[in-house]
Chain A
Amino acid sequence: MLPRADDEVSGPIISQVRRFAARAIDARAIDRDAAIPREVLSGLAELGLFGLTLPEAFGGSGCSLATACGVIAELARFDRSVAVTLGLHLGLGTRGLTAFGTRAQHERYLPGLASGACLAAFAATESGAGSDLSTLQTNASDVGAGLRVNGEKIYVTNGGLAGLYTIAVATPGLGGSARGQSLLLIERGDPGLQVAPEEHKLGLRGSSTTGLVFDSMLLPHERVLGEASGGARELGIILSWGRTLMSAGCCGAARAALEKVASHLSTRRQFGRPLAALEVVREQVALLTARVFAMEALVDEVSRESEKALLVRSLAAKVFSSEGAWAIVDGAIQLHGGLGFIEDTGLALLLRDVRVTRIFEGANDVLLAHLGASELLQTSPPPRAALSEATASAALASAAAALASASPEALASPSAAALASASPEALASAAAGAEALAQQVDALQKSLQARFRIGVFRQPRWLHRLGAACVWREAIDAALRRARASGRADEVAQVSLLTQAARAAVSTLSAEPPPRELYDLCLRESLPRPEGR
């Protein structure tokens, strides 16, 4: 669970959300109708959830990002469209206004946003500017009487529902900057704004996604949010909140899939035995369980970070949780057999809904390269105790053996055995594994620095690999800290098990990849290399 159920602030709110969601949310109906019923939205509003992270002075509850993540994770266990609608409002939709808005902007917008009378949306993506947001074409120029805005945005979550849009535009010349970007606040009723029809999507069908057209709009100067032409920096801060909330939704979806697996496997019998007794099945479920644990640990930890640390750590949380959620829902379908493919089980919907999370809020491959570069830019990584490879491997093997001999119930639900305290040896071995993993990542980084010098920043495939290695290290470290805090034997064992997978993955990532020319040759006919950079 994310955060832990005993968290003083979040616990009661999350319990309320769970009761409401169990009673009011019908995920299959939302998917079928491609809309969230009014009563669900008004129910969220009555619970005060639209104001959860907004300042108390304007009708919000002033809760932390961590609490909001707990709420989004809980909602995502019931329906991802509802979680995305609220998550977008609390994250990308209102974070900019809360953090950078003027007093007048707060007074004008926050009360309506906090009560849920007005929903928020955020629009950066354009048809020509997706992963690379430095090339925005939508622009605003100062025409004396105000700002003239022209352009189009695509894929705007909450686009059809929102009353307030934060948009990122190019503002050459504004604030004395040659190529600056700025954030603007657009109201639904502003003349010159057109909201395009709803998109038809693979998943998240209940979540509104539209385009926006700005046709020679004239906006008052007061609609600039934050610093004129300071948009690129502000965008980074807003996106890091949005990513973290989205990651929490991935945790909820993965947890829902895992719950379905446990209940299915404990009743389904084949070969004269419950599936839960089959060794290969048990290994798979243990790994899925460990992965969800690490996702929750990482996202919860990241959601408590300072604004600065969140900028980088949210990248790892986003990639790990979205890749994890996809793998876990896929694994859950596999373990359900044919039943998993049938809509009634709810897994098919989870899979369709989770697919986009590897793409939106920054495509994972783009974020990985960015993370790899950020790692290289970090001047002082946290110090770690040295530990030999051999010790780590031996310790890992013993912890994995302990997990393999655990009872079936211990894997399916937190039984008394699972809740028992981990032995000091198990804890030490989990820590040793995490340490060895960190050393592997460190070695990869050092080897790249020595080999390419500053030129490493023009080695996207190595940056990508280093980023992926960092994601594993971040996840294992967070999981270890959470397991250490609880002292639970099952959690410590999960960390050890997942660390084995992480170490194997990082070994592969550190190996020399085939030369570029080999790939080019493979693609000679189908996709010749384009000219230029």
Chain B
Amino acid sequence: MRPDPTATVDDRVLYIISQLVPVQPSQIRAEQRLREDLGMDSVGSMELLSMLAEELDLDIGVEDITEVHTVGATIALAKTFLARKAG
């Protein structure tokens, strides 16, 4: 089920990942690698960041990103951009 806007960033990221790969949010863990563990290629991981930007209303440019390799790194990136937005 789609988490509501008050859900934690972690939950919202896990939900978005579950939209891209056939894995339940409850089975996704921070240390999992996007490619080897979740079967996402580099373009898939950009699609993930793109969905994240839309879902969390973040202004992320293509030039801002470096490739993220794990679920944890994706969550951290989302938090960085949220903090930038807040202040």
Contacts and interface: CB of A to CB of B under 8 A. Distances in A.
A458 B21 contact: no
Interface string B38-59: 1111111011011101100001
B79 interface: no
A454 B44 CA distance: 12
Nearest to A458: B50
B62 A454 contact: yes
A370 B65 CA distance: 18
B43 A456 contact: no
Contacts of A423: none
- Looking at B36, B49, B53, the one whose CB has the most chain A CB atoms below 10 A away is B36
Interface in B6-22: 19, 21-22
Nearest to A176: B37
B43 A374 contact: yes
Interface of A (DSSP majority class): helix
Interface string A400-427: 0000000000000000000000000000
Interface stretch (A91-99, A212-220, A225-233, A355-363): A225-233
A179 B61 contact: no
Contacts of A232: 35-36, 39, 41
Nearest to B19: A533
A177 interface: yes
A136 to B, nearest CB: 9
Given A177-B36, A232-B35, A455 B23 contact: no
A180 B39 contact: yes
Nearest to B66: A379
A134 interface: yes
Interface in A165-206: 177-181
Contacts of B43: 370, 373-374, 377, 457
Contacts of A230: 36
Contacts of B19: 533
A326 B61 CA distance: 38
B27 interface: yes
A179 B46 contact: no
A179 B38 contact: yes
Contacts, number: 74
A376 B65 CA distance: 11
Contacts of A376: 46, 62
A19 interface: no
A471 B4 CA distance: 43
A229 B64 CA distance: 30
B30 interface: no
- Looking at A178, A373, A376, A454, the one whose CB has the most chain B CB atoms below 10 A away is A454
A508 interface: no
Contact of B46 (A135, A449, A454, A533): A454
A230 B39 CA distance: 10
B39 A134 contact: yes
A449 B36 CA distance: 28
Nearest to B29: A178
Contact of A455 (B40, B42, B54): B54
A178 B32 contact: yes
A453 interface: yes
Contacts of A457: 43, 46-47, 49-50
A377 B42 contact: yes
Given A453-B59, A458-B51, A178 B64 contact: no
B37 A454 contact: no
A134 B38 CA distance: 10
Interface in A428-478: 449, 453-458
Contacts of A533: 19
Across the A-B interface, the 7 shortest Cβ-Cβ residue pairs: A457-B46, A454-B60, A373-B43, A179-B39, A457-B50, A458-B50, A178-B37
Interface of B: 19, 21-23, 27, 32-33, 35-44, 46-47, 49-51, 53-54, 59-65, 67
Given A134-B40, A180-B39, A457-B50, 6 more contacts: A134-B21, A232-B39, A370-B43, A377-B46, A449-B62, A458-B51
29 contacts: A134-B44, A177-B36, A177-B37, A178-B23, A178-B27, A178-B32, A179-B23, A179-B39, A180-B37, A180-B39, A230-B36, A232-B35, A232-B36, A232-B41, A236-B41, A370-B43, A374-B42, A374-B43, A377-B42, A377-B46, A377-B67, A453-B59, A454-B46, A454-B50, A454-B53, A454-B61, A454-B65, A455-B53, A458-B47
